[in-house]
Amino acid sequence: MNQFSTYLKTMLTDTQIQALALAVQNHGMVCLYGVGLGKSTLARVFRSAGIHTVLAPEDCSTDADCYSVLDYPGAIALCMKNEPFSNALDKDSFSKEEIMAALEDALRCKH
């Protein structure tokens, strides 16, 4: 499992990761919401890799509270886990290749 996969598992459930993977592969919009940390960081990681379809509440042109989601047909809203990270993130950016490999791995797994 690559470091990005490990990072994702601290933020989302396996089922959510699979939904995220399908949405990203199909250029669908994904809105991250919920109490706790990590929404903005995760959205920034995707943006830094050139994937601009994963959004934090502040990207959704609403009041930007932690429950804000994009009002857009077909958008998927994923509620972040409110759990502490077991490991500190060694880096705050990942390549598009690392991200896509982790998402492809998630789709291959049967849960």
Residue 14, pLDDT score: 93
Residue 51, pLDDT score: 95
What is the pTM for the complete model shown?
0.86
Strand pairing partners for 33? Answer: 79
Whether the pLDDT of residue 60 is over 80: the answer is no
Domain assignment of residue 72, given as a range: 3-108
How many domains does the chain fold into?
A: 1
Cα R_g (the chain), whole angstroms: 13
Residue 99, pLDDT score: 94
Please choose, from the candidates 29, 85, 90, the residue with its C-alpha nearest in 3D space to the C-alpha of residue 56: 29
Residue 56, pLDDT score: 87
Question: How much is the average pLDDT of 60-85?
Answer: 76
The b-or-e profile of 26-42 (16+ CB within 10 A means b, else e) is: eebbbbbbbeeebbeeb
Question: How much is the average pLDDT of 17-23?
Answer: 95
Sheet-wide strand order for 30-33: 54-55, 30-33, 76-79
Whole-angstrom distance, CA of residue 55 vs CA of residue 70: 8
Count CB neighbours of 94 within 10 A: 20
Whether the pLDDT of residue 89 is over 80: the answer is no
Strand pairing partners for 79? Answer: 33
Query: Contact, 30 vs 54, CB < 8 A?
Result: yes
Residue 35, pLDDT score: 81
- Quick one: what percent of the chain has pLDDT higher than 90? 46
